[in-house]
Amino acid sequence: MAGRTAVIALGGTEYTVHAFNIGELERVTELLQDADTQIKRNKMSFAILRIALERAEPTVDPGTVELD
């Protein structure tokens, strides 16, 4: 895959994540617009991380990642 990437380490594994595409940016924008309470804002970072991991390499189910 061409494009910009970053490497993040979660639970002792390094994942290459790609820059958001248009569809993903639209989803992130929707999250930001819906952040009207503190609880939603606190959950937002995890929702954005889930979007970022959808195309990660190696493939990962974000619900199974354990953080260090």
What is the pTM assigned to this prediction? 0.76
> For residue 35, what pLDDT is reported?
63
Contact of 16 with 6, CB cutoff 8 Å: yes
* C-alpha 58: how far from chain center: 14
Closest by CA to 18, choosing from 56, 46, 51, 48, is 56
Confidence at residue 40, expressed as pLDDT on a 0 to 100 scale: 73
Mean pLDDT, 10 residues at a time, the chain of 68 residues: 83 92 92 72 85 93 80
